[in-house]
Amino acid sequence: MPKLTMVSCVLLFAIPAGLAQAPANEHNCPNPTAIPPYVGSGTGVFSPNQNLCLPQLAPTPTGLSPLAFIVRGLEPGDRVDSQGTAYVVSIRGVPGGIDLWRWFQTSDGAPNPDKTLPFQYEGQPDNCGIFSFTNGGCANNVGNPTNLGVAPGGGDADIAVNAPFLGVPNLAITSLALVPGVTATHSTDRGDNSSVPNPVAALLPGDDRQWQDAIDASTVYLEYHDITTFNIEVQRSSDGGVTYVNGFGEAIDTTTLPAVVGAAVTPPTGNVAGQTRIDKSSCPSRGNLYQIFVGPDSMAENVAGAPPRTVYVGVSNDAKLGMSAFMFTDHKIFTSPTTSPGATFGTANLFPALATDDLGYVYAVWSDNTNILYSSSSDQGTTWTTPVRVNSGATVGKANVFPWVAADANGHVVVVWLGDNLVGNSNDRTVLEKSCSDGTNRCWAKWNVYMAETVTGHALVPAFTQYTASDHIIHSGTVSTGGLGGGADRSLADFFQVALDPQHRGNISFADDHLASPQCTSQSPGHCADNDPQSFRTGQPYFTYQLTPNPKIVTAGACATTPPQPPGFEKITGGGHIPSGQPGVTAKFGLVAQNKQPNASLSYHDDGAPGGPIDVHSSNTSVPTVTFSGNCAEFKGDAKVNQQLGYTYTVDACDNSEPGTGQDTFGITVSGPNFFYNNSGKLTDANIQIHTQ
């Protein structure tokens, strides 16, 4: 189910550009802006809704290009770092690139008297490395004559913040293009400048819907769909999010695989991946990696193309070990009963979402198009509470989609979503976009942004309080949840986000198209009224935040529990180097294997291999076999060699002595069509360990 967003093909003659300042005192704004500056009234609980400034047209009008496409800002995502700096990112669509905004009070000024924030527009961090290598960094691409307003990506975007490096938190950024894949960059000065974009951050070409999260000053995780197998690939970066070559795993394990992946089946339902999340607590669970996704409940349902009625989470306790291979174990969070909305409309009403709090509890939300459903885990994702409905009051029984969740403290959780005022599926034009008697769109479905908050998030039945976060109707009509294959209105694309700041307040970024575009005079002449169903409009990024924190938040408490391993459990982990076939060259490996399914994960790289460098990763296309004998283990499975499927591997590894003595051994054999490779030897560094329980 591809979610990549493409730019509009509309081309216009460009007009001169300059800089402007919005009423919210936003800085560095292009002129003219895509939508005239808008500041709402606020709600008393939330700040006045403000749009974030974008140019109307791109490429930036210069003699380099007489044409331009209309700019939009979709799928806004936001994060707030540990020092209170707020970031918002949105997409233009491929190949338009992404846009970034930043509010850092020291540089950008205190909140305005009306409580709006004076954001600074930071330009397009994913395009300056393509057209402006020598012009002073990504922030300087605003109005730069060499900036064509085009980038490798813009189909999807995500950002992550982690611990400070030299006093400033790191900002990791990714952007999606279908080919070659994921573009990555990062900033160590709060978005003012970014590293030269890396357009091949994904190890596998042909990718879809990436997400990311970060924990310490250098560690960032990136996950995406491998379009060939549609497994969820997860990579680790150790340089703050420029490259992702330091760890690899697949989030859909071999037990779950038949139910949610099947490239050879037509038409398989497959799966929809939500974001990856790291446990950032100070508990023993710190560093656990969680991946949420939805799919069918069985292989039979997958083959039949049934709606994805089951919500899953992949849990990796190995990722935090820092090895180049890690493994996930999948658990079912919930399966919607037959005939329920979740079984009828699926649970992929974009996107399932996940959060962890400061004590290691995990929270999941999803939509069945009618309800926003919520479940929590107190044992690191192994078991989950019976789901509860989050939305209440006037939203009950209406269309509710695009859930997102954030958590902190002890059970403090906020959930946001879009909800309308009519009964009916969000994709149904016959119900939500009826012909109105007065010729306007006044009888269409009207959409608002909602937020629900609880301070008892890991209770069996948490108590939520619901708020309306938008201070105006943000959209009229249908909202598509079908991705590129959806037939309903995609003006808002597929999701929006909420982030919690250090004061425990919800910060919400969302797309909004309640105003007609200034370009409507050329795109829909004679239909430029804001309530005209034929008016030309584009989604634009908006922002609001909770004015005061919940006074009942509790920060102390007991950590989430660790689930016990079954009797007779054995596991082997390891990583390091062994000599290669060429003098002075070493081969690098990482492994995890255990005697219960899912069984194994492997990463191996040898620059000195005969015929050229070889890169091997295990692939969850079949169940590996694992055998333990004393202090050694042997495991076999399917492999990707230099990013290509169709190979098998056999590994023998032994924990012969204490770490650092150089007596542990590792051996590997890889075979495939007209291909054979093997290597073995004693470790030159690091170690292999056998774990029993």
Token pair 């307040």 is found at 505
Kindly state whether residues 291 and 411 are assigned to the same domain: yes
Check whether 17 has a pLDDT greater than 60: no
What pLDDT is attached to residue 194?
Answer: 86
Token pair 């770092």 is found at 81
Token pair 């919690």 is found at 500
What pLDDT is attached to residue 567?
Answer: 86
Average pLDDT on 616-642 reads 92
What pLDDT is attached to residue 613?
Answer: 93
CB 358 within 8 A of CB 341: no
Closest CA to 473 of 499, 500, 506, 510: 510
Least confident of 18-22, 119-123, 253-257, 497-501: 18-22
Which amino acid is present at 681? G
pLDDT in tens, 299-323: 999 988 899 999 999 999 999 998 9
Helix (H), strand (E) at residue 430: helix 429-432
What pLDDT is attached to residue 84?
Answer: 96
DSSP letter string, 234-252: EEEESSSSS---SEEEESS
Average pLDDT on 249-256 reads 93
Check whether 265 has a pLDDT greater than 60: no
How many residues are listed for the chain in this entry? 693
pLDDT band at 28 (very low <50, low <70, confident <90, very high): confident
pLDDT in tens, 513-532: 999 999 899 899 999 999 99
pLDDT band at 658 (very low <50, low <70, confident <90, very high): confident
Kindly state whether residues 439 and 575 are assigned to the same domain: no
Token pair 């060699």 is found at 641
Pairing of strands 400-408, 388-389: unpaired
134 lies in a domain?
no
Tokens representing 257 are: 């695989």
Average pLDDT on 449-464 reads 97
What pLDDT is attached to residue 18?
Answer: 37
pLDDT in tens, 172-204: 999 998 666 899 999 999 998 888 888 888 887
Check whether 462 has a pLDDT greater than 70: yes
CB 200 within 8 A of CB 222: no
Phi/psi at 93 (nearest 5 deg)? 100, 150
Where among 448, 473, 494 does a domain terminate? 494
Closest CA to 24 of 547, 544, 514: 544
Mean pLDDT of the chain: 89
- Asked whether the CA dihedral 233, 238, 241, 244 is positive or negative, the reply is negative
CB 87 within 8 A of CB 78: yes
Check whether 136 has a pLDDT greater than 60: no
Cis omega (within 30 of 0) for bond into 598: yes
pLDDT in tens, 584-598: 899 999 999 998 878
475 lies in a domain?
yes
Kindly state whether residues 326 and 467 are assigned to the same domain: yes
Q: What is the DSSP letter of 255?
A: T
Average pLDDT on 62-90 reads 86
CB 553 within 8 A of CB 455: yes
Average pLDDT on 618-627 reads 90
Which amino acid is present at 337? P
Percent of the chain scoring above 90 in pLDDT: 70
Kindly state whether residues 302 and 449 are assigned to the same domain: yes
Q: Beta-carbon neighbour count of residue 269 at 10 Å?
A: 25
Pairwise CA distance, residues 304 & 668, whole Å: 39
What pLDDT is attached to residue 564?
Answer: 86
Closest CA to 602 of 568, 626, 580: 626
What pLDDT is attached to residue 131?
Answer: 45
651 lies in a domain?
yes
What pLDDT is attached to residue 439?
Answer: 94
What pLDDT is attached to residue 631?
Answer: 92
Check whether 270 has a pLDDT greater than 90: no
What pLDDT is attached to residue 124?
Answer: 87
What pLDDT is attached to residue 36?
Answer: 87
328 lies in a domain?
yes
Q: Tell me the three state secondary structure of residue 198.
A: strand
Average pLDDT on 266-284 reads 87
Tokens representing 244 are: 């992702």
What pLDDT is attached to residue 57?
Answer: 82
CB 119 within 8 A of CB 507: no
Kindly state whether residues 473 and 582 are assigned to the same domain: no
364 lies in a domain?
yes
Kindly state whether residues 469 and 596 are assigned to the same domain: no
pLDDT in tens, 78-121: 999 999 999 999 999 888 889 999 999 999 999 999 999 999 99
What pLDDT is attached to residue 33?
Answer: 80
Average pLDDT on 229-258 reads 92
Kindly state whether residues 488 and 600 are assigned to the same domain: no
Check whether 139 has a pLDDT greater than 80: no
Helix (H), strand (E) at residue 107: helix 105-108
Average pLDDT on 343-348 reads 92
What pLDDT is attached to residue 390?
Answer: 98
What pLDDT is attached to residue 94?
Answer: 84
Tokens representing 130 are: 């393509």
Average pLDDT on 39-63 reads 85
Where among 433, 463, 494 does a domain terminate? 494
Average pLDDT on 499-524 reads 95
What pLDDT is attached to residue 32?
Answer: 77
Range of the domain at 669: 570-692
Pairing of strands 665-672, 506-512: unpaired
Kindly state whether residues 475 and 597 are assigned to the same domain: no
What pLDDT is attached to residue 535?
Answer: 95
Kindly state whether residues 340 and 442 are assigned to the same domain: yes
Helix (H), strand (E) at residue 341: helix 341-345
Helix (H), strand (E) at residue 354: strand 353-356
CB 508 within 8 A of CB 474: no
Pairwise CA distance, residues 351 & 330, whole Å: 18
Pairwise CA distance, residues 346 & 348, whole Å: 6
Q: What is the DSSP letter of 316?
A: E
DSSP letter string, 521-533: HHHSTT--STT-T
Q: Tell me the three state secondary structure of residue 342.
A: helix
Where among 494, 516, 532 does a domain terminate? 494
Check whether 130 has a pLDDT greater than 60: no
pLDDT in tens, 464-485: 999 999 999 999 999 999 876 6
Kindly state whether residues 594 and 684 are assigned to the same domain: yes
Kindly state whether residues 459 and 340 are assigned to the same domain: yes
Number of separate domains in the chain: 2
Q: How far is CA 317 from the centre of its chain?
A: 20
pLDDT band at 146 (very low <50, low <70, confident <90, very high): low
637 lies in a domain?
yes
pLDDT band at 498 (very low <50, low <70, confident <90, very high): very high
Pairwise CA distance, residues 602 & 574, whole Å: 10
Kindly state whether residues 603 and 457 are assigned to the same domain: no
Which amino acid is present at 285? S
150 lies in a domain?
no
What pLDDT is attached to residue 65?
Answer: 56
- Maximum average pLDDT range among 500-514, 577-591, 595-609: 500-514
What pLDDT is attached to residue 230?
Answer: 84
474 lies in a domain?
yes
What pLDDT is attached to residue 217?
Answer: 86
Q: How far is CA 666 from the centre of its chain?
A: 35
